[in-house]
Amino acid sequence: MAEKIRIKDIAERAGVSVGTVDRVLHDRPNVSKPARDKVEKALKEMNYQPNVYASALAYNKSYTFYLLIPKHESEAYWEEIEEGAKKCEDTRRDFHIDVAIRFYERSSEESFREEGNKILEASPEGVIVVPSSLDVTREFTEALHHKSIPFILLDSYMPDLRPLSFFGQDSFCSGFFAAKMLMMLAAKEDEILLMRQTKDGRVVSKQQDNREVGFRHYMHDHFPNVKITLLDLPLSGTRAEFVKMLEKFFAVHPNIHHCITMTSKAHIVGDFLLKTNRRDVQIMGYDMVEKNARCLREGSISFLIAQHAYMQGYSCVDTLFQAIVLKKKVTPVNYMPIELLMKENVDFYRRTQL
């Protein structure tokens, strides 16, 4: 083990006081250039490696990180993100990390803008952003750049916005993978159902939109004759509305036996199938939230694609911690694994594995 280098040793080597060395190590003012040069030369000659954790603790500064995410119901994908972020906050509590969460209406650019402005007014040390539309998100991130506030993009990757880092799946590859897995079962089908949740007939999530692009790309290349029939459920619809729409859909399309959705709401169809005792439809969806897991165990959902939402929330906060508190370099793009879950392996899935 290498011998520990003390501040006293550095001071003796540089011919300066211990206080001068301490100020240089912590980048504090009131150090002359000649004295700083002597200390830095001594550090290089002694191959000094600072204890960044000890330095950060000694600095005794508080840090506030904001997490800007869509409003959501309980037991949803975003709740997993929150839990992961709060777990990291607790893990790093000795460094005085505080994670504040702001929510915006997913389908409202104005809501995103309002919440973003509140964050800008607070001038936090770092921000985690789930993007809205490109234009309104760019407006926010440019303001963050102007104030020199680093930010991480979560869920949807927009490299032109120049984030510190990104966490999420490769959406196109995920959709392509979903189509490939689905068609191993539905290769002989003439028609499949693509269930979406929309606002005014439009998918408001860039990630879901990219998944659909990847899905259709695979279908176009490998199963061009299979008809993809859309069912758009309203983003703010009620359970009763969903039941009526699903009853009508399956009455009109009795020969559809395979359904896929690019959202975490596969359980909407899964619950409908359980209540109507239909066992002739197989569903593929996203995210290991509890409502989906229950349908998976009961057999109304056949497959789920997991993306470790809890890990994403944890890792985003930890990356801000590494970059801002410890001043370390971080990985700019972090794609999450694309994992296929079914009834037989769902109980072995570990959402908290880090």
Question: Which pLDDT does position 43 carry in this prediction?
Answer: 85
> What is the tens place of the pLDDT at every residue in 252-273?
999 999 999 999 899 999 999 9
Residues paired with 197 in a beta bridge: 233
Question: Which pLDDT does position 45 carry in this prediction?
Answer: 85
Question: Which pLDDT does position 54 carry in this prediction?
Answer: 62
pTM above 0.85, yes or no: no
Query: CATH assignment of 171-306, given 3.40.50.300, 3.30.2320.80, 3.40.50.2300, 1.10.760.10?
Result: 3.40.50.2300
Q: Quote the CA–CA distance of 33 and 41 in Å, as a whole number.
A: 12
Q: Which two tokens stand for residue 240?
A: 């009763």
| Residues 249, 269 contacting (CB under 8 angstroms) | no
| Residues 246, 269 contacting (CB under 8 angstroms) | yes
Query: CATH assignment of 59-169+309-336, given 1.10.3720.10, 3.30.70.120, 3.40.50.2300, 3.40.50.620?
Result: 3.40.50.2300
Domain ranges of the chain: 7-50, 59-169+309-336, 171-306
Q: How many Cα atoms sit within 13 Å of 258 on the Cβ side?
A: 19
| Residues 317, 89 contacting (CB under 8 angstroms) | yes
Question: Which pLDDT does position 161 carry in this prediction?
Answer: 96
Q: In what order do the strands lie in the sheet with 165-168?
A: 97-104, 63-70, 126-129, 151-154, 165-168, 333-335
3-state secondary structure the chain: CCCCCCHHHHHHHHCCCHHHHHHHHCCCCCCCHHHHHHHHHHHHHCCCCCCHHHHHHHHCCCEEEEEEEECCCCCCHHHHHHHHHHHHHHHCHHHCEEEEEEEECCCCHHHHHHHHHHHHHHCCCEEEECCCCHHHHHHHHHHHHHCCCCEEEECCCCHHHCCCEEEECCHHHHHHHHHHHHHHHHCCCCEEEEEEEEECCECCCHHHHHHHHHHHHHHHHHCCCCEEEEEEEECCCCHHHHHHHHHHHHHHCCCCCEEEECCCCHHHHHHHHHHCCCCCCEEEEECCCHHHHHHHHHCCCCEEEECCHHHHHHHHHHHHHHHHHCCCCCCCEEECCCEEECCCCHHHCCCCCC
**In terms of CATH, what superfamily is 7-50?**
lambda repressor-like DNA-binding domains (1.10.260.40)
171-306 shares the fold of 59-169+309-336? yes
Residues of the chain whose pLDDT is less than 70? Answer: 1-3, 49-59, 74-75, 350-354
The string over 285-311, giving b where at least 16 C-beta atoms fall within 10 Å of a residue's C-beta and e elsewhere, is bbbbbebbbbbbeeebbbbbbbbbbbb
- Compute φ and ψ for 326, nearest 5 degrees: -90, -10
Q: How many Cα atoms sit within 13 Å of 139 on the Cβ side?
A: 12
Question: Which pLDDT does position 207 carry in this prediction?
Answer: 87
Write the CB contacts of 176 (distance below 8 Å, at least 6 apart in sequence): 214, 215, 217, 218
